[in-house]
Structure 1
Amino acid sequence: MELLTRRRFLQATGAATGGVLLSSGGGSAASRESDDTFTPEDAWPAPQGTAGRTRATKAAGPAGPYLEKRWTQDPASYLAGDLASESPVIADGVAYFGAIRSIGLHLGAMIAYDTESGGRLWRRDQVKAESGKTVPLGAPNTEPSVHDGTLYFGCGGTEQPDREEGLAGIYALDATSGETRWLRSDLSTSTVEATEGRVYFERGALDTATGETTWEVDEPGELLGVAGNTVYFRYWDRASETGSIAARDTATGEKRWQAEVTNQIVGTAATVDRLYVTSRTSVEDPSLTVYALSGTDGSVEWRSPAPTRGTAQTTEYTNVEGRTITVSRNPYISTPAVDESRVYVLTRSYGESYFSGPAMSEDDPFDSHSTLYAFDRSSGEELWRFETPIQAEAAPTVTDETVYFAGRYKKTDATYALDAETGTKRWVSGITNPGRILSPPSVVNDSLFLLVDELMGGAYLSKFEATECGESVPDEGARTVKNDPMSTTNQSTTITSGAPRSTSASANDVESLTSRETRVANAASAASTSDSSVQSIREYGWQSPLAFVGGLGLSAGAYLTNSSPLKSDD
């Protein structure tokens, strides 16, 4: 008998920054006829799931209690996009993978794999330009978006067709064959979102079928997402050194409102009623915040702090050679994930270097002080938080009843599954053949997909399914802290190493916890430190492989070109 989940029950019964307003236009901010919060259960059609970047799906997800790898593709030279927020793109039984063959020459490839077998279906590293000339595909800036049988993505490279360097522009490829449907080499963009017959980019919107311009504005902005009939952009005014978020009508580009932002934006998720933002102050001891802007007028509906647990400026651990490794505090907050009730974000106090040398000692593990928070979507009230020593790697993904996220523990890659409503740990599984950097997971039906980057060793895509036996991850000290609105005190469920792998906790595991006043939503005293930049935190490249290798210069690009398994067969 089919499991009746909370969402399906509600559907069956019919239930359905600091910001300063700068300007306002006409029109409704969001269509409430449909909610684009969730992907269908059999697809993950955009790097962050939906065009609104909500990282939510109707899929059930793997039930655990462990994960078994079904297949792994051959390593590519380099991965396109941002591993902190982007997941594998999947539609109609096909997984799509954007790769960079050469950084210096901006050479890229788009590859399609069968999700059942992992076999390669096609690879496209050359395209026909508008002139009819065959030219190298540019370097994809992100993983692609899939809409009505077509892949859409932006590429970096040269503006003029050249035999040596990849061609920049916005691409549309047939999702089945990889053949070019259209190409706009006169346009450039870092990201795209495709939905409802339009491809949105940093200046406007194109027709998905023809690539013709639907509307365009003079001022380029960073695309933040699309929900209902609203598309969101971020702008930066160099003259005044101020940043802002603007909402525009999806059909006309008319500006509805624009709100000033004072802190560094990390990530956003758009629904038909709000834009959810995670932010960080760029100061010596940064604070982390989650807030919600009204889709109607851009006003701040709520703001909640998401403090990290580790407060010491450094922490230490001993590696297998007996050397003491010091790790500096560098507070991190993820892009948000949003379902019909809650907003989920990951934070971390300490991030171990990927080049720190030999593995840590089993007797002295590294505690990153990672925390997954769940906030009420309407009020911003903290509902629960899950604390773990595992080093959280990227944004969470929420399914019908479960929140998944990936991390590392004692140099072992792992994936968590938590109950979305209560925060209780369902299971945590080690992952065989660990990589250096993990993406957030894509969840399609009962399978989980991850992008893994080995840095100079190549990047690849893997598929995982549930199994009864697997690699255990003890995660000593992990626990769930719940905020019970019916109680005068918060409650915490302590989960110790070796505890039964179940979805419920024993009454003996409940202990009272002192409430933190700083966690109250709409706190009037919430910090709003001015920042000279609203650049995305991902552009600082703390875990961006593109930023790392890009710093090595053109010689690295030339090396990757010559040694790449993606090198053209021609």
Structure 2
Amino acid sequence: MSEDATRFEWARPRTGDRDRVDRAPGRDPTRRTARDDRPPAGKLASGEPRTADGRPRVRTATVDAATANSPSESDGSADPRVQFAYRGGGRFESRPVVCEGTVYLGCANGGTHAVDGDHGTERWSASARDRSTGPAVAGDVVCTATEQGTVAARDAATGRRRWEFEAAGRVQTAPTVADGSVLVATTDGHVTALHARDGSRLGTFRNAARAVCSLAVAGERVVLASLDGGAYAHDRTDGREHWRFDPSVAVRDAPAVADGTAYLTTVDDGRACAISAVTGRLQWRADVSESAWAAPTVADGSAFVATTDGTVRALDAEDGARRWRARVGGRLWASPTVAGESVLVGDDAGTVTALDRDDGTTLWRYRTGAPVVAPVTVAEGTAYVADRSGTLTALSLP
């Protein structure tokens, strides 16, 4: 066992907070709210162009000038070039993970795929009996989890199974890797740390929320989000809770932490919030939409926020003041990706849009064959776009 892995000496689940999930006063649990909405299933239209083998044909979108963000659309001289399109045979709903020239994808229909990042050839694929989360790479293993709670680690090069672990509950979010350990959250609020080498259990703690749907590691803390309500921070060493933020509203994505501040969005009331990553105290709050499902992306003093009304906003990371606002064609379910001077977003209308980071004008748009509900991943000048038809498209950025 590595020295880093032994840091996870977590306490047993505490019973005092076992059922503590504060609710907003007077909320009617039968009333439909923004949290009841979900990303679309995204079936291809019958007229969608396909290749000879049945794949959706990749193409550049025709953009209605009335909805364009920039004064004029791209003339094509600075558009991305399609490097390859890989068809995985299922639905891709999670972010592609790129490591040492290989792209790893989790399939919502079950299974994991490893694809050459330059040419799009399949290196290996592995099936699963149930819906799979997105992957997490820990050294030479790739870890995924199924909705029923099976955590599996496979050899990153060959796909051979290394180990399995049966979690005590359902899993709906990708594992997170930190210091030789794999962290897994179940929907009943438990977070378990496993040794990446052999899957042995290092410890567990219990979060107050009943619906943990996202987690991340920020320094010495584990931050979590819950559709049951709120965002939370726990100590990485012993699992004790450091703070909880606004447990009366749903939070879909774990906060993004930068320079001692945690940035998050709320599903129910569509706000972007900045809180102290140390104390959980609110620093600023900005109304951005009726609903926001994805965490902000923070870069160079700006917090970029994507919302389900199809809008991207750039906010000042210090005080939340709006710098610019841009509208794209479809609804946005995933965090923006900052790549150089561009901000990339994929929408559920099947369009990837590149916005100028300084003023939000449209640089280019690319049309896929199906809804995009996962963040775009950029590595070595290539943008990897996973869509719900099961296609991974690699775009060489201009």
Residues 201, 371 of structure 1: CA spacing in aligned structure 2 closer, same or farther, 3 A cutoff?
A: same
Cα distance 1:141–1:385, how it changes in 2: closer, same or farther (>3 A)? Answer: closer
Q: How does 1:43-62 map to 2 (within 5 A)?
A: none
**Deviation, structure 1 residue 445:** 1.6
Give the equivalent residue in structure 1 for 2:106: 154
Query: Which SS does the other structure have where 2:329 is aligned?
Result: coil
Counterpart secondary structure, 1:176: coil
d(CA) in 1 for partners of 2:360, 2:90: 43
The TM-score normalised by the length of structure 1 is 0.46
2: CA distance between counterparts of 1:565 and 1:227?
Answer: 29
Look up the match of 1:185: 127
The answer for the alignment partner of 1:344 in structure 2 is 263
Instruction: Call closer, same or farther: CA 1:144–1:248 in 2, change over 3 Å.
Output: same
2:162 is the alignment partner of 1:214: yes
- Change in Cα spacing, 1:121 to 1:275, as seen in structure 2 (3 Å) is same
Equivalent positions of 1:532-543 (< 5 A) are: none
CA gap 1:218/1:110 in 2 versus in 1, 3 angstroms: farther
Superposed CA deviations along residues 516-536 of structure 1, whole A, max 9, x for unmatched, are xxxxxxxxxxxxxxxxxxxxx
Q: Is the 8 A contact 2:6 2:202 kept in 1?
A: yes
Q: Is the 8 A contact 2:135 2:175 kept in 1?
A: no
Counterpart for residue 84 of structure 2: 122
| Aligned residue type for 1:347 | T
- Taking the aligned partners of 2:200 and 2:59, their CA distance within structure 1 comes to 37
Which residue does 1:7 correspond to in 2? none
For residue 302 of structure 1, the aligned residue among 243, 248, 257 is 243
Alpha-carbon distance in 1 for matches of 2:243, 2:323: 32
Q: Which one of the candidate residues 337, 342, 351 is aligned to 1:460?
A: 351
The correspondence of residues 513-532 of structure 1 with structure 2, limited to 5 A, is none
CA distance, structure 2, for counterparts of residue 469 and residue 192 of structure 1? 31
| Letter of the 1:296 counterpart | T
| CA distance in structure 2 between the aligned counterparts of 1:142 and 1:272, rounded to whole angstroms | 24
TM-aligned CA deviation for residue 404 of structure 1: 0.8
Aligned to 1:379: 279
Residue 193 of structure 1 and its aligned partner are, at CA, apart by 1.3
- CA displacement at 1:268 relative to structure 2: 1.8
Structure 2 residue identity aligned to 1:464 = L
Q: CA deviation at 1:147?
A: 0.9
The one-letter code matched in structure 2 to 1:436 is R
> How far apart, CA to CA, are the structure 1 residues paired with 2:226 and 2:271?
16
Q: For residue 423 of structure 1, what is the aligned residue in structure 2?
A: 319
Query: Does the 8 Å CA contact 1:100/1:109 hold for their aligned counterparts?
Result: no
Partner Cα separation in structure 1 for residue 39 and residue 300 of structure 2: 23
- Give the superposed CA RMSD: 4.0
Larger radius of gyration: 1
- Match of 1:140, SS state, is coil
Task: Tell whether the 8 Å contact from 2:86 to 2:391 is kept in structure 1 after alignment.
Answer: no
Runs of 5+ consecutive residues of structure 2 not aligned to the other structure: 10-37, 46-53, 61-76, 146-150, 363-370, 375-387, 393-398
- Aligned counterpart for 1:247 among listed residues 165, 170, 193: 193
Contact 1:111–1:124 (Cα < 8 Å) also in 2: no
- CA deviations 1:373-409 (Å, max 9, x no partner) are 212112222222223566545321111321110237x
Counterparts of 1:249 and 1:427, CA distance in 2: 43
Describe how 1:50-89 pairs up with structure 2 within 5 A.
none
Deviation at 1:195, TM superposition (A): 4.0
Q: Distance in 1 between matches of 2:218 and 2:59?
A: 29
1:446 offset after TM fit, Å?
A: 1.6
**Alignment correspondent of 2:139:** 196
Task: Summarize the alignment of residues 454-493 of structure 1 with structure 2, pairs less than 5 Å apart.
Answer: 454=349, 459-466=350-357
Which range moves more in the overlay, 182-191 or 146-155?
182-191
**Does structure 1 residue 404 correspond to structure 2 residue 345?**
no
1:266, 1:334 within 8 Å by CA — same for their partners in 2?
Answer: yes
Offset of residue 416 of structure 1: 1.8
- The 1:259/1:468 distance shift into structure 2, 3 A limit, reads closer
CA distances 1:422-479 after superposition (whole Å, capped 9, x unpaired): 2242512233x5323453211112210011113xxxx1212122466969xxxxxxxx
Does the 8 A contact of 1:225 with 1:270 survive in 2? yes
Q: In 2, Cα distance between the equivalents of 1:424 and 1:139?
A: 35
SS at match of 2:6: coil
Once the 2 structures are TM-superposed, how far is the Cα of residue 289 of structure 1 from its aligned partner?
2.1
Counterpart in the other structure of 1:28? 7
Matches within 5 A, 1:261-276: 261-263=207-209, 264-276=211-223
- Further displaced range: 382-391 or 255-264: 382-391
Give distance in 1, aligned partners of 2:59 and 2:201.
37
Count of aligned residue pairs for this structure pair: 305
CA contact (8 A) 2:266 2:293 kept: no
CA distance in 1 between partners of 2:128 and 2:194 (Å): 23
Contact between 2:141 and 2:154, CA under 8 Å: does it hold in 1?
yes
Deviation string for 1:95-115 (max 9, x for gaps)?
xxxx9769xxxx9889899x9
> How far did 1:176 drift?
0.9
Cα distance change of structure 1 residues 83 and 344 upon mapping to structure 2, 3 Å threshold: farther
Structure 2 residue identity aligned to 1:342: T
Task: State the SS of the aligned residue for 2:134.
Answer: coil
C-alpha contact (below 8 Å) 1:337/1:395 kept by paired residues: yes
Contact 1:112-1:123 at 8 Å conserved across structures: no
Q: Give the equivalent residue in structure 1 for 2:340.
A: 445
